[in-house]
Amino acid sequence: MDITQATAFVTGANRGVGKVFVASLLERGVRKVYAAARDPGSLNGLLEDDRVVPVALDVTDAEQIQHAAAIATDVTLLINNAGALSFGGALEVEQEAIVRDMAVNYTGLHSMTRVFSMVIEANGGGTVVNMLSLLSFLAAPGFSAYNASKAAAWSMSMSLRPYLSQRNIKVLNAFPGGIDTEMLAGVDGPKDRPETVVADVLNAVTEDLEDVYPGAAQDAFDAWRADPKAMEKAFAAMM
Ligand SMILES: NC(=O)c1ccc[n+]([C@@H]2O[C@H](COP(=O)([O-])OP(=O)(O)OC[C@H]3O[C@@H](n4cnc5c(N)ncnc54)[C@H](OP(=O)(O)O)[C@@H]3O)[C@@H](O)[C@H]2O)c1
């Protein structure tokens, strides 16, 4: 996809990786970017560029998704970035936390894609980017609700791909490792800068790739592919 010809829609655009997506898309010459946030008042700082259109959107709210699609009728690039992480081991995590992470990371991603696929198709096709995680296929102790939600989202993205392909819509799955944002504040470990992750993901959009392991995630993915069981045990040992 040629980003200079794209009109983008970014969920969770007010902070973290989403905010960097908006800034980077502008730098790369995107035509327009809809910056969606639960609280559009938190988008301050992104609105100086007149190519940015603020949108109020909670990805768990079906009515708000329909409303967003009715406003953003020219979208060709959807970036499913919004995400939630509830901490807790597999035996003690609260049911509410499991439901919350699933609602944002899995159901929200699916609902956004289903509704916006009609918009993108009407515009001749385009790309959907899903911000998944290495934890889509690895289980970090203490992240059990999040791990499961990202695994479900990965599975759904693969179910969607052939249907979207018929509508001339590509699906790019991004599998980052740790990123230095509020999501992992207080968690020790190696983290990529959000700018590094976003640059790798947008390069993959340009190259029409199906999967990308941005930043340091590529090495982790290579190790997992070489010996999945060894990686599972290495992650379990972090408990
Ligand atoms: N940080 C990491 O280490 C890491 C690693 C791999 C993958 N990822 C994924 O990368 C994406 C971006 O993460 P991040 O690091 O930027 O996280 P973050 O700093 O915690 O930001 C999360 C964003 O998602 C939004 N959000 C949460 N629930 C939402 C909802 N129901 N509806 C709409 N927006 C909602 C937040 O909005 P509010 O300000 O309203 O809360 C915020 O804009 C996520 O999908 C995350 O799972 C992150």
How high is the pLDDT of residue 45?
Answer: 87
How high is the pLDDT of residue 239?
Answer: 81
Q: Is 107 in the pocket of ligand 1 (CB under 6 A)?
A: no
| Section 52-75 average pLDDT | 98
Q: Is 111 in the pocket of ligand 1 (CB under 6 A)?
A: no
Judged against a pLDDT cut of 90, whether residue 44 lies above it is answered with: no
Rounded Cα distance between 162 and 170, Å, is 9
Q: What's the fold here for domain 3-236?
A: Rossmann fold (3.40.50)
Rounded to the nearest 5°, which phi and psi values hold at 10? -115, 125
Nearest to 132 by CA among 144, 148, 120, 119: 148
pLDDT tens digit string along 171-223?
Answer: 999 999 999 999 999 899 999 999 999 999 999 999 999 999 999 999 999 99
CA of 147 from ligand 1 middle (Å) equals: 14
Rounded Cα distance between 107 and 23, Å, is 27
Q: Is 109 in the pocket of ligand 1 (CB under 6 A)?
A: no
**Domain ranges within the chain, ordered by starting residue:** 3-236
How high is the pLDDT of residue 50?
Answer: 97
pLDDT tens digit string along 96-138?
Answer: 999 999 999 999 999 999 999 999 999 999 999 999 999 999 9
| Section 142-149 average pLDDT | 97
Strand (E) positions, the chain? 7-10, 32-37, 52-56, 77-80, 126-131, 169-174, 211-212
Cβ-contact 157, 173 below 8 angstroms = yes
Q: Is 133 in the pocket of ligand 1 (CB under 6 A)?
A: yes
